[in-house]
Structure 1
Amino acid sequence: MRALVTGITGQDGGHLAELLLAQGYEVFGLIRGQHNPKRHAVREEFPAVTLLEGDLTDPTSLIRAVEMAAPDELYNLAAISHVGYSFKNPALTAEVTGKGVLNLLEAVRVTGRGGLTRFYQASTSEMFGGLDYNRPGRGYAEDSLFHPRSPYGVAKLYGHWTAKNYRESYGMFVSCGILFNHEGERRGVEFVTRKITDGVARIEAGLQDAIELGDLWPKRDWGYAGDYVRGMWQMLQHPTPEDFVLATGVTHSIEDFLARAFAEIGVDDWRPYVRQNPEYMRPAEVDILLGDPSKAEALLGWRRDVDFQGLVRRMVAHDRELVSGRVPA
């Protein structure tokens, strides 16, 4: 089996490369730019992955990559995926995260692989934007209403509907994974969860005094990225292309995450170590995101192995090792 992974330098791309290689796949990774600073890290960790240069905003490069990889499975994980950044660069977010999906699907179609390549589109819970009051307490499911509240969410919704349109118009095997927040050791430090665990490790080591954050009350449905990537793969093994929500069905606030992370280093009161900075507050915030993974559990047999406490413990332990120099960056 041959697989092409866009966004291979990101958190999910790393987990997916690991999973696919362990299953015996020949893996190709799309990487943007000749001098991409993450190229060396990917080659170091995954020497068996063949890297192809391409850009979601450049249709010609995508056609060339699809022709070279001739993938049985294509996982589109590439995006401008930071919600806060999308408010500062909405046009670029639309071009990459939204229109880039169209460019990639069209590359699969025009190369004649529409009936040969199974396509995974990374959709997101940010397309929902808040609670669906028709399902109180149950969380969002695949048929819930969308109301994105960020340029990132809007761009992802464009990509989501484009993927569904190619499935229905051309009979392509296209599955969309509507994944709720999933974190882990590979998460970038610009994201709030990793910013917290990295900060906790650095505070313990005496390298910084406090962590600067935005709003602390939003609640998210947080899971472990490794579990969710396994769900992506399961979607493309399913007999029919469909949309699936992956979530835990439980929410925790950012304050909950802070309390759990600081508890890992023996600190009961996190408040003296956290400062709120208006710079990190968004023009429109999503109060709560809660997912309902019933369909994926029933049809795919998907289960998560890591709970919330285990997720935070895993991330803090990794960053303590990183700060101490016991593991390489």
Structure 2
Amino acid sequence: MPRALITGITGQDGGYLAEQLLADGADVHGLVHEQDEAAAAFASSYPSVSLHVGDLADGDRLRGLVGEIEPDELYNLAGISSVAFSWEHPVLTAELSGVAAAVLFQAAFRLQERTGRQVACVQASSSEIFGVARTFPQDESTPVRPVSPYGAAKAYAHHIAGVYRSKGLHVTSCILFNHESPRRPTTFVTRKITATAARIGADGSGVLRLGNLEARRDWGWAPDYVDAMVRAARHDVGGDFVIATGRTHTVAEFAEAALRHAGVGDAWRDHVEVDPELLRPMDTAEMVGDAGKARRELGWEPTVDFEEIVGRMVDHDVELLRKDA
């Protein structure tokens, strides 16, 4: 039975990953912050998962946990998750999303050297490392040139994964493009859209305020992307893998799909406004990934299309409104 350690286990991807690993019969451990309000609910939902309190900024604690748990698989999903937040806190973002990855890989390498057995690591990288890409779609050979503190921190973690791979650590960087589910917090624009659409659909009034409506993104289904990470951890060799659908939609199209699914119909435009305060200092106009390598080497394929993703999220928020009522 493999033993797995997941950082960021209470997040969207962490929960889906824990479920998949448990279904595989793994012994699952997770890192949680002492102030993580979701930890208690997570522990109640997944009593067989062992949770360990720690802080990504505490290198000694991270190294100690890896040495104590001795995982066969280490998934680093934790860090700052908001590009907007990274502009306000660039140093903290660098520390938690960048430097912490180096600490974990160092600890995994030391464990591997000490025990003589492989420790497979997966870094949850991001399409934001490509910044304003000059090639479309983006693949593993696309130059890394981030344009945000978030992207820069993820780029460091992506590069340090490659450094430790060259030293003999089985470490993979999964370059994840946007992936969504009903478990996204409402601080994310996609969940903000579906939650607001559900409310507008319920009473026929309200306004959805957004930033750049023309930003074009490659949106996938979160459980699919988690499956790709597990496949990468268990692949014969580590490497870089773009995980994406290869199809793009604008933020406006996401809003339209959500409002139409909520029953607003052609009147959806009347409920969408641009808020200048929500515009980012720098924003990549279009991100679309080529997951050909993941298809060929990991046997991975996305299973849920854009309309279905949006519909599932809206249905979830509609059900929440019904329960609250």
Using structure 1 for the length normalisation, give the TM-score.
0.94
C-alpha distance after superposition, 1:212-271 (max 9, x if no partner): 211110000000001010000000111111110010011100011011111112222322
Match of 1:125 in 2: 127
What is the alpha-carbon distance in structure 1 between the residues aligned to residue 116 and residue 295 of structure 2?
Answer: 28
Asked if structure 1 preserves the Cα contact closer than 8 Å seen for 2:256 and 2:269, the reply is no
Match of 1:290 in 2: 288
Q: CA deviation at 1:107?
A: 2.0
Asked if structure 2 preserves the Cα contact closer than 8 Å seen for 1:221 and 1:248, the reply is yes
Within a 5 Å distance, the mapping from 1:82-93 to structure 2 comes to: 82-93=82-93
Asked if structure 1 preserves the Cα contact closer than 8 Å seen for 2:109 and 2:119, the reply is no
What is the alpha-carbon distance in structure 2 between the residues aligned to residue 36 and residue 249 of structure 1?
Answer: 34
For residue 309 of structure 1, the aligned residue among 284, 307, 311 is: 307
Amino acid at match of 1:22: A
Asked if structure 2 preserves the Cα contact closer than 8 Å seen for 1:127 and 1:147, the reply is yes
Asked if structure 2 preserves the Cα contact closer than 8 Å seen for 1:75 and 1:119, the reply is yes
Amino acid at match of 2:146: P
Q: CA deviation at 1:127?
A: 0.5
What is the alpha-carbon distance in structure 1 between the residues aligned to residue 322 and residue 210 of structure 2?
Answer: 24
After alignment, is 318-327 or 222-231 more displaced? 318-327
- Unaligned 5+ segments in structure 2 are none
* Alignment pair present for 1:160 and 2:158: yes
Q: CA deviation at 1:326?
A: 7.6
Asked if structure 1 preserves the Cα contact closer than 8 Å seen for 2:181 and 2:313, the reply is yes
What is the alpha-carbon distance in structure 1 between the residues aligned to residue 162 and residue 115 of structure 2?
Answer: 17
Amino acid at match of 1:8: I
What is the alpha-carbon distance in structure 2 between the residues aligned to residue 256 and residue 211 of structure 1?
Answer: 13
Amino acid at match of 1:228: Y
Asked if structure 2 preserves the Cα contact closer than 8 Å seen for 1:259 and 1:269, the reply is no
For residue 248 of structure 1, the aligned residue among 245, 249, 260 is: 245
Q: CA deviation at 1:70?
A: 1.2
Asked if structure 2 preserves the Cα contact closer than 8 Å seen for 1:30 and 1:51, the reply is yes
Within a 5 Å distance, the mapping from 1:100-115 to structure 2 comes to: 100-111=100-111, 112=114, 115=117
Partner SS for 1:190:
coil
Q: 1:251 to 1:197 in 2, by over 3 A?
A: same
For residue 258 of structure 2, the aligned residue among 244, 247, 261 is: 261
- Unaligned 5+ segments in structure 1 are none
For residue 169 of structure 2, the aligned residue among 164, 167, 172 is: 172
Asked if structure 2 preserves the Cα contact closer than 8 Å seen for 1:29 and 1:50, the reply is yes
Match of 2:214 in 1: 217
Match of 2:3 in 1: 2
Asked if structure 2 preserves the Cα contact closer than 8 Å seen for 1:56 and 1:103, the reply is no
Asked if structure 2 preserves the Cα contact closer than 8 Å seen for 1:127 and 1:157, the reply is yes
After alignment, is 51-60 or 124-133 more displaced? 124-133
Amino acid at match of 1:81: S
Partner SS for 1:187:
coil
Q: CA deviation at 1:115?
A: 4.7
What is the alpha-carbon distance in structure 1 between the residues aligned to residue 249 and residue 67 of structure 2?
Answer: 44
For residue 150 of structure 1, the aligned residue among 148, 151, 174 is: 148
Within a 5 Å distance, the mapping from 1:52-91 to structure 2 comes to: 52-91=52-91
Amino acid at match of 1:261: A
What is the alpha-carbon distance in structure 2 between the residues aligned to residue 28 and residue 207 of structure 1?
Answer: 45
Asked if structure 2 preserves the Cα contact closer than 8 Å seen for 1:53 and 1:65, the reply is no
Q: 1:113 to 1:242 in 2, by over 3 A?
A: farther
Q: 1:9 to 1:114 in 2, by over 3 A?
A: farther
Q: CA deviation at 1:200?
A: 0.8
Asked if structure 2 preserves the Cα contact closer than 8 Å seen for 1:56 and 1:104, the reply is no
Using structure 2 for the length normalisation, give the TM-score.
0.95
